[in-house]
Structure 1
Amino acid sequence: MNVLLIGSGGREHALALALVKSPLLDRLFVAPGNPGTARIAHNVALDAGDFAKVIAFCREESIGLVAIGPEQPLVDGLTDALEAAGLKVFGPSQAAARLEGSKGFTKDLCAKYHIPTAAYGRFADKDRALAYVREKGAPIVVKADGLAAGKGVVVAMTPAEAEQAVESLFSGAFGAAGAAEAVVEECLDGEEASFFALCDGEKAVAFASAQDHKRVGDGDRGPNTGGMGAYSPAPVMTPEMSARVMREIVEPTVAAMKAEGCPFKGVLFAGLMIGKDGPKLIEYNTRFGDPECQVMMARLEDDLLGLLLACAEGRLPPNVRLSDKTALTVVLAARGYPGTPLKGGRIDAIDEAEKIPGVSVIHAGTKMEGGQLVANGGRVLNVVALADSVAQAQALAYRGVDAIRFPDGFCRRDIGWRAIGR
């Protein structure tokens, strides 16, 4: 069949690399794609926000499945428009995508269905939010309710910091994401992990675990980013802990969404805190993470297209086959990130990195300019390595990083440090 993949980042390049291995695939289109996807698929200049044009393209090219990578089209209702036109889609409906699009919705769902999460308050009024902060004290977490491109969360270590976060949020610092509503919640202790499950509206199947590195600098210092690297599996997510997360968090959520009249189809990405009392949900995303997707796809031994179709058609298999090896990715970012990244920096010798056995290079923020590959975003490349241990994967990935010539780029040099420290 022909498949249309929506998106342009590292996540979509990683998904495309997995999809082209499928015996079910005829042609893969990526909209809009990037120079990495252009090497293995057909990039098309489609705006995911123009539903009518996406539907027309799908009809012209006999698309059998649309896979939606980023969160914004899901929250905007692209799945609903495509399904109304008779197309199969991997990705939740607009109502189900509220699990990511509204933190308040998710917290209320957790409270109603007894899904373990941090204690919280939900506020449309600034003064009431400030009063709650003063009552609870610090540390405390202040979140914009809606999508804020990963920037709508402040972990406040002092009451003054928390009050400033509330003031900023309601004054529009996070745009429309926070101006209307805030979620203020307990600061959880423990070890963070990401856990992914595939869902078909009725049931869920565990996919994989990963751990991300959000801070820009070594030793988890500096401002938060979209992610500077990741590895999979996460050692803290033992088979027992994974089973517990499925039983206590994921499966109750899938049942709750069905009961609420908005069954969830797609991938459920649970951001977790593993503490002394067990796992608690920090937040949900309703798509594959970035850069977590890059390491999970490196471990996938099943047919990705077959799995995505099974989600769309309500017939998930009982399990997913993954390599026992560890995958690790290092993000090469452009100087200035996570502030204003320097664009246009020349990138050479990617082929040298890819000659290293076990190493692949994913394009995240690149473009071709006059026949030359250049940086075109904050997170520019993901260097992925697959090996028998975290330490071996780390060493391989940094060999790949050091083979690439990108003078305007930088990376963390300690991706995987927590797992290696174990």
Structure 2
Amino acid sequence: MSSYFDWDTEKAELLISKNYFSFNASFLLMSQILYLVMMSTHLISKLYSEQGIGSGLEIGSYVLGWVITLCVILFIAIQFRVLGYRRHLVSFSNQMFQYSNEIQNLLNERGLQLDNYLVKIIRIGEIVMLFTAIATGIIPLVYGICMCAELEPTHMLIEEVLEVNLQMSLAHSPCLLLITWITLNAANSAFTVVMVGIIYFQLSKISISVLTPVTIRQRVNGSNAFSRRIEYQVMTRSLGVRDDTFVMKMYRIQQMFNRLLNEFFASILISCHHVVVLGVFVFMSFLFIEYSAAIMSSGISATVLFLMGISCPIIAEWYESLVSGNTCETSAEFVKKTRRLTNRKSYFYKFVLSCPNMAYQTGEPFFGVDRRTFPQFIQQGLEFLITLLVM
């Protein structure tokens, strides 16, 4: 009851969870919004209080509180988007599964194995999805355990605002379970969105790669008497010789998937993850540089926490830029090779002219994500970090 979605093992389809009632979604969202208001008010009031923030680890806890607040904002935004587009996500995912099966069946008919680089792409995607699935289960557990630490922001919020002495005890287990349940719900929504994106980028990269032409030749007696259209036979990279109509149909399906993906991911609610990731990277880097001695002297767990806070945003932005850039480059290669091998006056050539590159448009209208996004992210993050350090 912590996810909007369910999986039908018999039909191999994604479904909207029947156990996830509207009351459940409303209750969990309102709980997160209430937590966001309380935490923001608490952090702002602490900044202007007479006691101040303190020093050393208390400053670390304060900055970590703002990092958690940013993450909660992102989780709430994603859940609102998923709640409104859950039928869209289910339909989109199931269509991708069916299309993937069609591609696999076509390869099986020819007795072909996927090329090594395609296998590599699949393996990387599977590893990422495996870690995503593990994180979905581990994050709430780790959060529930860490919340009992005195300097954990949520622990301090509960003790100071609600005046409750929170400890790891049976008496407080309902509170810990409730917060863990809410965190699990937010994590499931976020990772469902991540997994749908990963599946799309895998499918798009593989499908366009196997359709990329090696040679194109005019069909013998190929001039259609009815339409007077010159027909071509395309020697594809992995699917053998196919009619140009087959290649056009398969590529149009990929364009449809790209349109459906961007209809969901282009929303400002999803696009704000770039701002959150950038904020986490800058905050954690600034804190680690400014108070490195105090953090390292406090133990290995604190050091690892801050190193993860710095490295995870970099890895996330790098991977998103990489997979989006791969898809864009693969589609550009398809268009370039097809145009070079096709007669300029043919219908097939005109079709290729109408094929834009597959673009990942989250961040629109300000920017689109491709290989240039990661260097820009690093540049922007370093500029903000240097500004904070100079101040």
Same fold (TM over 0.5): no
Q: TM-score range by the shorter chain?
A: under 0.3
- Bigger strand fraction: 1
Normalised TM-score (structure 2): 0.27
- Bigger helix fraction: 2
Larger RCO (CA under 8 A, 6+ residues apart) = 2
Normalised TM-score (structure 1): 0.26
